[in-house]
Amino acid sequence: MIPKVKRKHDEGIRSGKQGIMGLLAEKRHNYILDKLKSSGRVTVTEVAQVFEVTEVTVRRDLSWLQKQNLVKKTYGGAVLPNLPEINISV
């Protein structure tokens, strides 16, 4: 199960208060995670168009999510991170 993203504040906000930018980032992050859960892949262009933000903003979102081990960045988008291998000996 993919967790929803909840942050106290957006890293880009200097005041430390959440504000509208933090809420929008949280919505983008949740959209990205939901899209990955349903289709296994998301593109930078798609998210940028849906939220009417720049592709740079989406790449920043993907970098943050990757640091949280929630996504794995790929060329042009992201996929779910690889699950750890489980070695079962019988």
pLDDT in tens, 27-43: 999 999 999 999 999 99
pLDDT recorded at residue 27: 96
pLDDT recorded at residue 12: 45
> Is residue 79 packed enough to be buried (19+ CB in 10 Å), middle (13-18) or exposed (0-12)?
middle
Q: Which pairs count as long-range contacts for 81-86, CB under 8 Å and 24+ apart, including other chains?
A: none
